[in-house]
Structure 1
Amino acid sequence: MPELSPADLTELFRIIALRIGEARAELAALDGAIGDGDHGASMAGGFAALTRALTIASREGKTAGELFPTAAQSFLDAVGATTGPLYASAFLAAGQRFQGLATLPLARLPELVIAFHDGIAARGKASPGDKTMLDAWRPAARAVVASSGDCLTRLSAAQRAAEEGRDATGSMIAALGRASRLGSRSLGHIDPGAASAVVIIAALREGASAFLSRGNS
């Protein structure tokens, strides 16, 4: 069974950081319609800082399981407001799930989606339909649990479910955060947090595919 070393995990998060960076302007535009417009910059800055921290940590000999608390702290240090604590909680939940692992079995990578959902749900206290990132993370996590097959199959199912959840936020009225101040005027707008969740899950699948291709070459 293929295993992700700390260096492999760091590369995986480098791919996520790259894709979030590419989506930065789009995420900012989505947030600008119903929020303060900083979601793209916050996510890009957080994942860039996280990648730098993981690069150092993996070189210093930290195990795969030990990288996730490092990721949580670096993201929280880089990102304030609501998003920082939410994703810090996501990484801490992943750290608990993968605690003690020197390397991460590729087959268990989809569990990262479940851990992220659990951490974000516990911290944010949002409910389905509140028009938040949880409206993408929750169906994605459920898809991982419900699907069978290999890592890529399960991550593909998670991505499709997250995309459907993201798109569904356009017909929701925001109940939490800055967007809730708009009331019914938030209708017709995609939640930026749900959009960035899709980017992360798609990048997870991309990274897993690249790892498998490298291993089979």
Structure 2
Amino acid sequence: MPDDITAPKLADWIREFGHLVSVQRDRLNALDAAIGDADHGTNLDRGFRAVTAELDTIPQSDIATLLAHVGNTVVSSVGGAAGPLFGTFFILLGDAVGNDRHLNNERFALGLRAGLAGVVSRGRAEAGDKTMYDALAPAIDAIEATASAQRDLPDVLRAGLRAAESGRDATIAMLARKGRASYLGERSVGHLDPGATSAALLFTAATRTLI
């Protein structure tokens, strides 16, 4: 089952995401400085350093346990709004797939959809609000559609990445309607959203580690 996703592969996905966040920490802070508190990169980097430090101690036979641990560590270690949002995403992804030891494309898509629902429940975001939702939702839509078309895992994940990056870039023209950026009104237009930018990195990491 070469296309199946296992807990060790998911651990590699989390490690790579943490690495990308660390590499882009200053860029994420700069994006946040334009419309927020200038600490999005620092907060995420701190949280995922904590996650990465613990990954080797977590049993990697149970996907739900792995993702629950990741999510709870993110919630407790990442400051600002990003901690609860990213943390809930991983926890509910794990809850949705339960005790599965191998995820096919459809099961992974189902888990991602549950994670997105958690983000919506926490943040009350909708399309066009200029948040991480604007990268996550198109990516998951694309992953679901490509998986339903019985494409292989590389095609599924690359479709998700393309959609995430397009969604991220679309936030430049958006007026922020959520969070601190919404206080800027029209001045929020013309800036890339840092949350959508970091969310897109999830799919960059996936294409590097899950296939």
2-structure distance, mates of 1:204, 1:44? 18
Amino acid at match of 2:129: D
Amino acid at match of 1:167: D
Q: Are 1:194 and 2:193 counterparts?
A: no
Q: Report Cα offsets for 1:17-41 as digits up to 9, x if no partner.
A: 1111111111111101111111111
Match of 1:170 in 2: 172
Match of 1:74 in 2: 73
1-structure distance, mates of 2:64, 2:72? 14
Q: Report Cα offsets for 1:158-188 as digits up to 9, x if no partner.
A: 1111111111111111111111111000110
Q: Give the 3-state SS of the residue equivalent to 2:80 in structure 1.
A: coil
Amino acid at match of 1:193: G
Could you tell me whether the CA contact under 8 Å between 1:7 and 1:55 is conserved in 2? Answer: no
Amino acid at match of 2:198: S
- Same amino acid, percent of matched pairs: 37
| Structure 1 pair 111–44 and aligned structure 2 pair: CA distance change class (3 A) | farther
Q: Are 1:123 and 2:125 counterparts?
A: no
Structure 2: 5+ residue stretches without partners: none
2-structure distance, mates of 1:204, 1:104? 16
2-structure distance, mates of 1:167, 1:5? 31
1-structure distance, mates of 2:34, 2:138? 24
| Structure 1 pair 159–112 and aligned structure 2 pair: CA distance change class (3 A) | farther
2-structure distance, mates of 1:4, 1:201? 14
2-structure distance, mates of 1:6, 1:141? 20
Match of 2:52 in 1: 51
* Cα RMSD for the two superposed structures: 1.7
| Structure 1 pair 8–139 and aligned structure 2 pair: CA distance change class (3 A) | closer
Q: Report Cα offsets for 1:118-174 as digits up to 9, x if no partner.
A: 221121111111111101111111111111311111111111111111111111111
2-structure distance, mates of 1:146, 1:9? 21
How many equivalent pairs are there? 206
Q: 2:210 aligns with which of 199, 208, 211?
A: 208
1-structure distance, mates of 2:111, 2:48? 16
Amino acid at match of 1:89: T
Match of 2:8 in 1: 7
Match of 2:28 in 1: 27
Could you tell me whether the CA contact under 8 Å between 2:109 and 2:144 is conserved in 1? Answer: no
Amino acid at match of 2:200: V
Could you tell me whether the CA contact under 8 Å between 2:97 and 2:110 is conserved in 1? Answer: no
C-alpha deviation, 1:5, in angstroms: 4.3
Amino acid at match of 1:53: E
C-alpha deviation, 1:190, in angstroms: 0.5
Could you tell me whether the CA contact under 8 Å between 1:113 and 1:140 is conserved in 2? Answer: no
Could you tell me whether the CA contact under 8 Å between 2:171 and 2:191 is conserved in 1? Answer: yes
Match of 1:161 in 2: 163
- Taking structure 1 as the reference length, the TM-score comes to 0.88
Could you tell me whether the CA contact under 8 Å between 1:73 and 1:88 is conserved in 2? Answer: yes
